[in-house]
Structure formats: structure tokens, C-alpha cells
Amino acid sequence: MSLRRRASLLVFLVSALLLPTAARAQKVVTSDPAADAVSISSDATGSDDVGLAPEETRADLLRTTVAHTASRVQVVTTTREVGRGPDYLVMLRVRTPDGTFSAAAYGLGGRGPAVRLVRGNRVVDCPRSHASSDESAARVVIAIPSSCLGAPRWIRVGIGVSRYVSLDGTSNDEHWVMYVDDAHRAGDVGDDLALGPKIRRS
């Protein structure tokens, strides 16, 4: 190969390495122990009981992935089994340099799964947010446009899954159980979702 062709090839390779990589995402993958879902139950006396629920599969997280690009934040959850219906939620807590957002994906497994995004006490209008579930892979995907979060330079994300079960069979029951799993806690829940590491925008 001539010296000129070698020089041209070197320039090409360096240029390729320096090209913008907006399509690449900074990604964080977190594993969560199996059979560590927590049950929170209440009876007619109003007393609550909290304990481990190793038999619960739908609200038992195994793995989460968070990807942060200039255009969106995408969260993928894998559980032992995917739940469906209005009483099954995948919940997010997204901290940015300018504030904290809460999000919930609901209606999973139906015709119109949706994402509700809230900042403080205000619902954020973000129609391009969406969620989908794959029962065969036990996976839920949530995507939120970065613009709805203020196009943050970095984020920290808390992730949880919950399933509510009425033991009385009515919407106004006094006897119920809720199964919850926090992606960043093992066999425990707190007042809010625990945040993962800082993920910078790619």
C-alpha cells in the first residue's frame, strides 16, 4: 500500500472514530435477586402486615436496564412473569439535575398500555411516552422522550413493580394485599424507590 493510501486510510479511521454517536446510549444493567418480592397486606381492622412473598412471580424483578440518549430514556424490566391489567404497575422515579419525576406504566397486556408522568403534583403532558409488554420474555419496555424530562445531562432512576389484589372482590375492600419489588433493594421496600447510579446522556 502506498504512503498516500495509508495516510488516506488513517484519516478515514480517525474521522470515523470522531463521528457523533447520538444513537449509542449510556446503559446501566442491574440484577435483582429472585423471590424477593414483598407483600403488604391489610385486614378489616386496618392493621398492616409486611413480609417476604417468595411465591409471587409477577411482581418479582430479575433484571432492569436503563438507557439514556439525547432523544429518550428507555427502561426495560424483566420479571419472573409479566402481570397485566389495571392493578399491575411498573413504576419509575427519575431524578434529573433540575428535579424529580415519577412515572407509571399501566394497562399492560391490554390494547392501550400507557405511561403517566408526574412532576411534583403536576401531570406532565408527554403523549409520545409509551409502554409495551412481552409475556413470552416476561419483559416490559418503557420509553420517555428526553424533552419531557427537560433534556437532562444525567439521570438517576429508581424502578419498581407492584401488583394489587383485592381479597374481598370489591374496589372498596378493606382486605387486600399488594406485592412490590424494588430493583435496588433486596427483600425490602422504602417510602420511595431507591435510585440507581448516575447515567450521563450519550
29-41 pLDDT tens trace? 999 999 999 999 8
Listed range (19-28, 92-101, 163-172) with the worst mean pLDDT? 19-28
Q: Are 88 and 58 in contact (CB under 8 A)?
A: yes
What is the per-residue pLDDT for 111?
Answer: 80
DSSP, residue by residue, 34-72? TT--EEEEE-TT--EEEEE-TT--TT-EEEEEEEE-SSE
Which residues is 66 bridged to in the sheet? 28, 75
Contacts of residue 12, Cβ cutoff 8 Å, sequence gap at least 6: none
Distance CA 71, CA 146 (A): 5
- Among 11-15, 136-140, 186-190, the range with the most confident prediction by mean pLDDT is 136-140
- Tell me what percent of the residues of the chain surpass a pLDDT of 70: 83
Predicted local confidence at residue 45, as pLDDT: 59
Higher pLDDT, 3 or 142: 142
Across the range 70-82, mean pLDDT stands at: 97
Residue 17 has pLDDT above 50, yes or no: no
Across residues 110-138, what is the average pLDDT? 94
Please say whether the beta carbons of 82 and 161 come within 8 A.
no
- The pLDDT tens digits for 49-66 are 889 999 999 999 999 999
Which residues are CB-neighbours of 42 under 8 A, at least 6 positions away? Answer: 48, 49, 174, 175, 176, 177
